[in-house]
Structure 1
Amino acid sequence: MTAPPAPGRGRTKGRFDVTFALLLPLLLAAQPVATDSYLPALPAIAKELGSASTSLTLFVLAFGFAQLLCGPLADRFGRRPVLLAGLGCYTLAALGGAFADSVALLAGWRTLQGFSMAAILVCSRAAVRDLYPAHEGPHVMARGLTGLGIVGLMAPLLGAWLVQGAGWRWVMAAMALYAAALFALCWRSFGETRRPLGEGESSAPRGSTRAVFASRSFRAWASVAATTYGGLFCFLLLSPMVYIGYLGWSPAWYGWIPAGGSLVYIFSTTMCRSLLRRYGPVRTVRLGASLSLGGAVIQALGCWLMPLSAVPLLFGHAVYCLGHGIHQPCGQAGAVGDLPHLAGRAVSWSGFGMMMVAFCAGQLAARFVDADYSNGAWPMVVPMLLAGSVLVAIAFFWLPRLQHPKKETTP
């Protein structure tokens, strides 16, 4: 497979293909750089400026809603200008946060950073569909998400080291340095990937959003990505209360749990690429759905039979993460597979759906956690059990009903 040339950049097909393959993990990793490295800084920020929870909430909400704006912009003006604007604003917002002298100012800069990150992720995911045929998209996304998992493993450790050795402001400075270096790389190596418009063709065809949701393939694959992320988000949101508050673990011991999940995720996205080559996307997702449901069932049995033991919770979480590492590349790439002309909008609505499902599921599950932890680990486990059941239903009953698209030929 050769990628289409980058118009106006003077690169051969093969060279740009290799360059994008290296850039994609770095672009996707802008998310854990902005979130995972920031978490160890929260106590220090709270001590100096006051509670920083608002800045994190606004960041997440801005990231979710901004995707709806960035997708149409990327379809209208192209991936390159929107991506570079996002990287530039990301750098500016991180620098502004490093010099913030109040919680309100820090929250404002983090909100801008959330908008910027939406532009980066939307354009990088849309570029995958621009450069690769639909049947190769999951392979490419799996490779990119493996890189994201590696950064997700390193980011909190680096953030903690910077906070301890130099202070929380250097965490924000490190984000700015990362984004500035990535801006320079993309300025030099990232050409426009959106296909040229034909004569009289509009970059924003009438009813484009309706066309996205009219696609059966988009609805099915976007549902896979949103469902698996919703289950994992409930774990991320509620696991500190379960392991630290309910089971009495120390925060230091708890920190190894998300780190272990990242290791499993890295392995799973790597395994996904081999499974796709051997079995194709539908059979691969069926395996992933079985793992997701199996992991949640293990946790549920642990809550029922051994309510004060962490072993079934940890083992079940690892199995669920194996399925999650399969679902994410397949779901994210599959959501835009039938919509090459509307890749930006499809990516933005898929990403927005993931954030909204996660936010709503997390808020609902959190209502069942009280100060006495009377419900044990069930508020964390039940959403994952529901997510696994929905994923099995999608994989075994919905995806097989889709008409398999013909493989595209590269011009």
Structure 2
Amino acid sequence: MRLALPGGTFTVLLLLLLGAQPIATDLHLPALPAITRDLGPASTSLTVFALAFGISQLFSGPLADRWGRRPLLLAGLALYALGALGATFAGSITVLAGWRAVQGVAMAAILICARAAVRDRYSALEGPRVMALGLSGLGVVALLAPLLGAVMTQYASWRWALACMTAYALGVLVWCALRFTETRPARVPGGQGSAREVLRNANFWAWSSLTAATYGGVFCFLLLSPMVYVERLGLSPLAYGWIPASGSLVYTFSTAWCRHRLHRRSALACVQLGAGFSLAGAALQIVGAIWWPDRVAPLLLGHWIFVIGHGFHQPCSQAGAVSELPQAAGRAVAWSGFITMAVAFVLGQSVAHFSHGAEGANGLQGPLTGTWPVALPMALAALGIGLITRWWLPRAQSA
């Protein structure tokens, strides 16, 4: 059965569903230092969320292919709201991390159904353009989320920031219950795909690696930038809220630029252009970490340039990973998401360990001083992006 919605309505639903991820992460970024003071190391809750999100995708993907997108999507939105509500009233960092894990499981179901629905409705050629449009809308949500979280944290409490997640999830749940119908094809040539088919596809691995590399750099920014900007560089929570918000504005512009170029250029050409921005942004941050470790400007400008590349990589790689696997779209999205979060988790935890050192997350007085905790992982991610787009993807496409 096809989705009984006009294209514009589906696009709005798509951006709201994709926007659930920045709501779950960016909204409470300005609150991390306050949560750390009240409950303990707040970075724990973000890493637990990422771990639960990554692992649970391996289960959500097959369920989306077997049961359909709609029932899993509605269950995921309800569980997301429950997890957000529990986190709002958490009395310890352990309880907070537990409820964030529930949100991570729910987030996996939501994103898998949203991305699989794009493959259900659109061809491999149209998919990147539709995904770019949805991610442009996600950029608007990601722009507003940290600003709202900063205002709530500075003038009310970090708990109000988490309460906003509950309201968002309930609103989207009601809309999807009323407007979203099943998109999974009733019959697919060749039958239902398998995980083995996904993992044997060279094109899947190349595009999924690009998704993992670009998101790995951004995840480290999400994990460590609040402490760097607020604790080391002295910004207030409200002032810091403009940092991820400005990055989201740049990301929105970049996905729109990518969508425009996809009408005239291939997805490979677009991500190769994006790789140039990724490398340039990371290089600027490294220069800043060496010569101006106490300055905001090189770190922020480098982040903006890196995010331009991120806006090219995300829609192309997310659509590309499932382009050859319409019969196993749920499984392909699931494995791609798992690989992405595994890479982000390992990279983030490694850098956080060297950043925190002996004094823990509050002090951030480790071997990686200054702005290195943010600059180093983004540089490693940019190098991976360059290798994937210039060497691996061309070979996978020709094969």
What's the TM-score, normalizing by structure 2? 0.88
Alpha-carbon contact 1:288-1:324 (below 8 Å) kept:
yes
- Residue 32, structure 1, aligned to residue 26, structure 2: no
Mean Cα displacement is larger for which, 122-131 or 107-116? 107-116
RMSD value over aligned CA atoms?
Answer: 2.7
Matches within 5 A, 1:245-284: 245-284=231-270
In the alignment, what sits opposite 2:134? 144
Deviation at 1:117, TM superposition (A): 1.2
Mean Cα displacement is larger for which, 34-43 or 110-119? 34-43
CA distance in 2, matches of 1:266, 1:184: 26
One-letter amino acid matched to 1:180? L
What's the TM-score, normalizing by structure 1? 0.86
Which digits, 9 at most, give the CA deviation of each residue in 1:201-255, with x for residues without a partner? 764x5xx112111111101111111011112222333334544455555555443
One-letter amino acid matched to 1:298? L
Which of 250, 266, 271 is residue 285 of structure 1 equivalent to? 271
CA distance in 1, matches of 2:274, 2:33: 37
Mean Cα displacement is larger for which, 227-236 or 259-268? 227-236
In the alignment, what sits opposite 2:360? none
Alpha-carbon contact 1:16-1:189 (below 8 Å) kept:
no
> CA 1:233–1:96 in structure 2 vs 1: closer, same or farther (change >3 Å)?
closer
- Residue 21, structure 1, aligned to residue 15, structure 2: no
Matches within 5 A, 1:66-215: 66-100=56-90, 103-163=93-153, 167-197=157-187, 203=192, 205=193, 208-215=194-201
> CA 1:226–1:297 in structure 2 vs 1: closer, same or farther (change >3 Å)?
same
Deviation at 1:150, TM superposition (A): 1.1
Deviation at 1:85, TM superposition (A): 0.9
In the alignment, what sits opposite 1:408? none
> CA 1:252–1:192 in structure 2 vs 1: closer, same or farther (change >3 Å)?
closer
One-letter amino acid matched to 2:297? V
Mean Cα displacement is larger for which, 226-235 or 163-172? 163-172
Structure number with bigger Rg = 1
Which digits, 9 at most, give the CA deviation of each residue in 1:70-118, with x for residues without a partner? 0010011111111011112222333334455555444433322221111
Which digits, 9 at most, give the CA deviation of each residue in 1:53-77, with x for residues without a partner? 5443332221111111100100111
Deviation at 1:263, TM superposition (A): 1.4
CA distance in 1, matches of 2:293, 2:215: 25
In the alignment, what sits opposite 2:221? 235
CA distance in 2, matches of 1:170, 1:377: 30
Deviation at 1:41, TM superposition (A): 4.3
CA distance in 2, matches of 1:385, 1:299: 8
> CA 1:245–1:93 in structure 2 vs 1: closer, same or farther (change >3 Å)?
closer
Which of 371, 374, 378 is residue 380 of structure 1 equivalent to? 374
Alpha-carbon contact 1:246-1:373 (below 8 Å) kept:
no
Alpha-carbon contact 1:368-1:375 (below 8 Å) kept:
no
Which of 197, 201, 208 is residue 222 of structure 1 equivalent to? 208
Deviation at 1:170, TM superposition (A): 3.9
> CA 1:397–1:104 in structure 2 vs 1: closer, same or farther (change >3 Å)?
closer
Deviation at 1:391, TM superposition (A): 1.5
CA distance in 1, matches of 2:27, 2:90: 18
Alignment gaps of 5+ in structure 1: 406-411
- Residue 397, structure 1, aligned to residue 391, structure 2: yes
One-letter amino acid matched to 1:76? R
> CA 1:136–1:114 in structure 2 vs 1: closer, same or farther (change >3 Å)?
same
Mean Cα displacement is larger for which, 248-257 or 131-140? 248-257
- Residue 321, structure 1, aligned to residue 307, structure 2: yes
Deviation at 1:362, TM superposition (A): 1.6
Secondary structure, aligned partner of 2:264: helix
Secondary structure, aligned partner of 2:181: coil
One-letter amino acid matched to 1:385? A
Deviation at 1:385, TM superposition (A): 2.3
Aligned residues: 391
Alignment gaps of 5+ in structure 2: 358-364
Deviation at 1:403, TM superposition (A): 3.9
One-letter amino acid matched to 2:187? L
